[in-house]
Amino acid sequence: MQITPFMTDLTNFDVQKTREDFPILHTKIHGKPLVYLDNGATTQKPQLVIDRVRELYEKKNSSIHRGVHHLSEMMTEEYEYARRTVKDFLNARDTNEIIFTSGTTGSINALAFSFGEKHVIEGDEIIISEMEHHSNIVPWQMLCERKKAKLRVIPFDENGELILNEYKLLFNEKTRIVAVTHASNSLGTINPVKEIIHIAHENNVPVMLDGAQAVQHGKIDVQDLDCDFYVFSGHKIYGPTGIGILYGKEHLLDALPPYQGGGDMIDCVRFEKTTYNVLPFKFEAGTTNYIGAIGLASAIEYVNSKGVENIAAYEKNLLQYATRRLIEVGEMTIYGNAKEKISIISFLPDKIHPYDMGMLIDKLGIAVRTGTHCTQPVMDHFSISGTIRASMVFYNTAEEIDIFIDAVKKAKMMLS
């Protein structure tokens, strides 16, 4: 069989040098070099981020926004510097538009609650899509239950692309918000979000984009997109866990009530009545994950130093190579064949259970995801119980893809 070559000439990216930045990539699993293809679940951390977090705990740790002492002031400045870094990364207009949360899930729950309190009443409708992660389904469902509102769902076609003609038909005078994923974690589809936003805005409806699988793969410009809200997680873009972002246009955030009460989010507390702090602090009750926020800023600076365009070009090349090689193996279905994809491949070899293959190739040092990937409606669409998902980023190599393909072939032979 002819082996598809990897088009090294298509990208100008030093992957071996990049791999040196990630200590975990030199680990052995079951005595074999780790081949980490579970980046959709979480990405590995460069030494620079690990060092940064460690340095903060070792030398600078102190609660922010509260003290006049040196450490507290220094930490507060670093935290607000992190906010500016995120603002620049997303090309937001103002730091008031950047809220630190615990992650994508935290951001969506915050928005669904707060937006729901302000804008949703009985009989209203919320549009999501059939390819959403459970994190972008359940919080809206909970809101619908609270308010007796209704969820409307944009379907996708057999390639895993949203059917925009059907989407347009979902709008009516009761539609309050559209919440869709920028890129699908189980199909890899990059959605035509500009068009989705344009259609919503023609109907005077705001849009939230779930960027959990998009920020690490390409340039995000919230002003150019004209999205109203954008959310993502730090741990999926080489940053620490437990930190995430809720971006919102300032006038929209300003109009929303806080979703949590506590320290730092207040202006004046009296038993009769409490008044709230201004943006962005109104949405950051309690002691935030300030170390995580600063670690996230370091991760963003790292990504910027590699060049978002270089990363995107390299990953696109790797996706094409991996897809071609997997097709060469034969007797399997690839789920998600959209024209625009992030570097994720979901597949299922004929007559083999995804868990069996996942467990076998784990013994060869390969980490892939198996199961529903928190997108049960996607699995229902195809009437399958789950897939195997290989999700690649810029530190993965063509050689790793070859090892993975050999392992898939071996496991296939053993299991058939």
- 391 belongs to the binding site for ligand PLP (CB under 6 A): no
Span interacting with ligand PLP, options 22-30, 210-218, 267-275, 341-349, rule CB under 6 A:
210-218
Residue written as token pair 């959209």: 338
CB atoms within 10 A of CB 299: 26
User: Smaller CB distance to ligand PLP: residue 52 or 217?
Assistant: 217
- 212 belongs to the binding site for ligand PLP (CB under 6 A): yes
| CB of 260 closer than 8 Å to CB of 240 | no
Residues in contact with ligand PLP, counted by CB under 6 A, come to a total of 12
- 104 belongs to the binding site for ligand PLP (CB under 6 A): yes
CB of 233 to ligand PLP, least distance (A): 3
374 as an active site residue: the answer is yes
Contact residue for ligand PLP among 18, 43, 96, 105 (CB under 6 A)? 105
- 130 belongs to the binding site for ligand PLP (CB under 6 A): no
Residue written as token pair 């309190």: 117
Residues 6+ apart with CB under 8 A from 198: 226
Single-letter code of the amino acid located at 362: D
CA atoms 157, 159, 162, 164: torsion sign: negative
- What is the rounded CA–CA span in Å between residue 350 and residue 209? 34
Where are the alpha helices (H) located in 256-397, listed in sequence order?
290-306, 308-329, 354-362, 376-382
Binders of ligand PLP among residues 179 to 198 (CB under 6 A) are: 181, 185
- 135 belongs to the binding site for ligand PLP (CB under 6 A): yes
- Closest listed residue to residue 246, CA positions, set 105, 119, 89, 128: 105
User: Smaller CB distance to ligand PLP: residue 71 or 151?
Assistant: 151
The token duo for 337 is: 């064949």
Contact residue for ligand PLP among 44, 109, 189, 213 (CB under 6 A)? 213
Span interacting with ligand PLP, options 21-29, 131-139, 159-167, 326-334, rule CB under 6 A:
131-139
- Closest listed residue to residue 274, CA positions, set 266, 286, 284: 266
CB of 279 to ligand PLP, least distance (A): 22
User: How open is the CA angle 298-301-302, to the nearest 5 degrees?
Assistant: 85
User: Smaller CB distance to ligand PLP: residue 103 or 349?
Assistant: 103
User: What is the phi/psi pair of residue 83, to 5°?
Assistant: -65, -40
User: Smaller CB distance to ligand PLP: residue 46 or 244?
Assistant: 244
Interacting residues toward ligand PLP by CB under 6 A: 103-105, 133, 135-136, 181, 185, 210, 212-213, 233
- Positions marked catalytic: 374
